[in-house]
């Protein structure tokens, strides 16, 4: 394996899935040399995480060598050294049994960054891998080909172009679905655990503005953040300034179907409401606090009565913001229980432009709450029925406006 320079790392809350984006392979958890040929793999470096220090610096790979030899001598098909190496990396990351720890080749890492930047080519649906290992739709994007085709939240994608998704990671399924604008992809869907459907969808370029805003009635400013991407800080700041200039007396922050993104963007968004130095989120390994993020100032919306809208597609960085604003700014949360992703990933970039996305700890709210696999229960639960959805009757937004009157 190629040895890294001092590792370039960025903290991510990295959402529960990728918007139809790159496939991910897998990689060594420690940037180090790989020595083979003497019955052992030597992994250099000392792990920073005490929980993994039981892993030896020398791993007996005789059994692996036997499998490799048997595969080389007996496999009836084309197999390159690179494919074998990619498979080894995949297995190393897969050994964590963590759905959020994944390795990305250079191409895949570039696609992943494109997702964060908000421009993709595909059908426009957010995906996740559920606890049963199925590829599930969290939500189709507004105005996307997926939405036009009738794809719904909680639909299970059983196959892509006839190939089963069983055993795939979410990002492997994503790559199968993603493709050039104008080409078609056929999805086999299982709905409500029984009904099976096939949808053929024409791919298109999907532009995802991470921030939109507008004024509503009675001096209510509406700020929607669809994901925490590279431009979110600047766009949210400008939107907040405009809402205040337009006379906003209260704010609806819509984080529904927001899968997360960069922790720094979540902290900076929270800073629109919070004084400089206010605790927003802390990261822990076990019981040890290893990082604490605080508001950076620029509290344009401080003191304004605020509602945060959440639903089952709100995860990770969006949950960080919701809890910080409830804990520290008195915001009211309206909608449905959020997804519940309370872990943090670090994106480690290697010399060959490949990357490893690895879970490095859990995050906690200012009041010490971790919502991993539990989600955030809203202060006021409001559901949107199928009939309301078809009639474009946003009962959750209506409830927020009623509260802010």
Residue 273 has pLDDT above 80, yes or no: yes
* Residue 3 domain-assigned (yes or no): no
* Residue 343 domain-assigned (yes or no): yes
* Residue 113 domain-assigned (yes or no): no
Residue 154's CATH number: 2.30.42.10
Q: What is the mean pLDDT of residues 51-71?
A: 75
Cα distances (angstroms) measured from residue 115 to each of 105, 125, 333: 15, 12, 27
pLDDT at 56: 67
Residue 88 has pLDDT above 80, yes or no: yes
pLDDT at 104: 82
List, in sequence order, every residue forming a beta bridge with 236; answer none if it has no partner.
none
Same domain as 331, residue 244: yes
Same domain as 101, residue 142: no
Look up residue 374 and give its two tokens: 């539990």
Same domain as 152, residue 66: no
Band of pLDDT at residue 40, cut at 50, 70 and 90: very low
pLDDT at 146: 94
Same domain as 356, residue 283: yes
* pTM, full prediction: 0.72
* Residue 392 domain-assigned (yes or no): yes
Q: Which of 105, 121, 226, 316 is catalytic?
A: 316
Same domain as 267, residue 155: no
pLDDT at 116: 67
pLDDT at 25: 24
DSSP SS3 for 145: helix
Last residue of a domain, one of 154, 188, 206: 206
The closest of 82, 94, 115, 111 to 14, measured between CA atoms, is: 115
Q: What is the mean pLDDT of residues 67-76?
A: 91
CB 242 within 8 A of CB 221: no
Same domain as 293, residue 160: no
| Domain tally, the chain | 3
Residue 295's CATH number: 3.90.226.10
* Residue 111 domain-assigned (yes or no): no
CB 259 within 8 A of CB 126: yes
* Residue 161 domain-assigned (yes or no): yes
Same domain as 302, residue 230: yes
Same domain as 390, residue 373: yes
| Side-chain-facing half-sphere of 90: CA atoms under 13 Å | 15
Residue 69 a catalytic site member: no
Last residue of a domain, one of 172, 206, 240: 206
| Domain span holding position 195 | 119-206
Same domain as 126, residue 70: no
pLDDT at 81: 87
373-401 pLDDT, tens per residue? Answer: 999 999 999 999 888 877 779 999 999 99
Q: What is the mean pLDDT of residues 317-321?
A: 96
Band of pLDDT at residue 118, cut at 50, 70 and 90: low
Residue 271 a catalytic site member: no
9-22 pLDDT, tens per residue? Answer: 444 444 443 333 22
pLDDT at 221: 98
Helices (H), 118-159: 145-149
Q: Which of 341, 354, 355, 357 is catalytic?
A: 341
Angle in degrees, CA 122, 353, 283, rounded to 5: 85
CB 253 within 8 A of CB 318: no
Same domain as 134, residue 63: no
Residue 105 a catalytic site member: no
* Residue 270 domain-assigned (yes or no): yes
pLDDT at 340: 92
Least confident of 26-30, 44-48, 67-71, 309-313: 26-30
Same domain as 131, residue 85: no
Which of the 8 DSSP states describes residue 261? Answer: B
Cα distances (angstroms) measured from residue 226 to each of 60, 65, 74, 116, 216: 47, 47, 50, 11, 19
pLDDT at 398: 98
185-202 pLDDT, tens per residue? Answer: 999 999 988 889 999 999
Q: What is the mean pLDDT of residues 252-258?
A: 95
214-239 pLDDT, tens per residue? Answer: 999 999 999 999 888 888 999 999 99
pLDDT at 59: 73
Give residues with Cβ within 8 angstroms of 3, minimum separation 6.
31, 32, 33, 44, 351
Same domain as 137, residue 60: no
Residue with tokens 């890492």: 109
Last residue of a domain, one of 77, 105, 133: 105
Average pLDDT, the chain: 83
Q: What is the mean pLDDT of residues 263-283?
A: 95
* Residue 36 domain-assigned (yes or no): yes
Cα–Cα dist 32/10, whole Å: 19
Cα–Cα dist 105/175, whole Å: 13
């Amino acid at each position: 394996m190629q040895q890294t320079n001092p590792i370039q790392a960025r903290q991510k809350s990295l959402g529960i899935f990728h918007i139809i984006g790159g496939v991910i392979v897998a990689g060594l958890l420690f940037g180090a040399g790989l020595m083979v040929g003497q019955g052992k793999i030597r992994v250099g470096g000392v792990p920073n995480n005490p929980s993994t220090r039981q892993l030896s610096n020398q791993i007996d790979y005789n059994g692996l060598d036997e499998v490799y030899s048997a595969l080389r001598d007996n496999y009836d098909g084309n197999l390159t050294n690179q494919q074998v190496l990619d498979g080894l990396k995949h297995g190393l990351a897969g050994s964590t049994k963590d759905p959020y720890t994944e390795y990305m080749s250079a191409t895949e890492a570039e696609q992943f960054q494109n997702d964060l930047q908000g421009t993709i080519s595909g059908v426009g649906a957010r995906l996740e891998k559920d606890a049963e290992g199925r590829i599930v739709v969290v939500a189709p994007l507004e105005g996307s080909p997926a939405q036009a085709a009738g794809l719904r939240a909680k639909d299970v994608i059983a196959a892509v172009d006839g190939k089963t998704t069983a055993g795939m990671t979410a990002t492997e399924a994503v790559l199968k679905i993603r493709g050039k604008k104008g080409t078609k992809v056929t999805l086999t869907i299982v709905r409500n655990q029984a009904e099976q459907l096939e949808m053929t969808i024409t791919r298109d370029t999907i532009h995802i503005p991470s921030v939109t805003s507008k004024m509503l009635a009675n001096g209510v400013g509406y700020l929607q953040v669809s994901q925490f991407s590279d431009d979110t800080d600047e766009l949210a700041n400008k939107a907040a300034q405009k809402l205040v200039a337009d006379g906003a007396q209260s704010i609806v922050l819509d984080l529904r179907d927001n899968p997360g993104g960069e922790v720094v963007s979540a902290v900076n968004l929270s800073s629109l409401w919070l004084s400089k130095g206010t605790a927003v989120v802390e990261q822990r390994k076990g019981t040890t606090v290893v990082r604490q993020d605080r508001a950076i100032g620029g509290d344009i919306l401080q003191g304004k009565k605020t509602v945060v809208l959440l639903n089952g597609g709100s995860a990770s960085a969006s949950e960080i913001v919701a809890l910080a604003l409830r804990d520290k700014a008195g915001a009211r949360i309206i909608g449905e229980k959020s997804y519940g992703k309370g872990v943090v990933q670090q994106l480690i970039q290697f010399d060959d432009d490949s990357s490893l996305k690895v879970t490095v700890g859990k995050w906690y709210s200012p009041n010490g709450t971790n919502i991993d696999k539990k989600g955030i229960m809203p202060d006021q639960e409001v559901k949107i029925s199928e009939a309301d959805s078809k009639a474009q009757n946003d009962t959750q937004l209506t409830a927020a406006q009623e509260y802010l009157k």
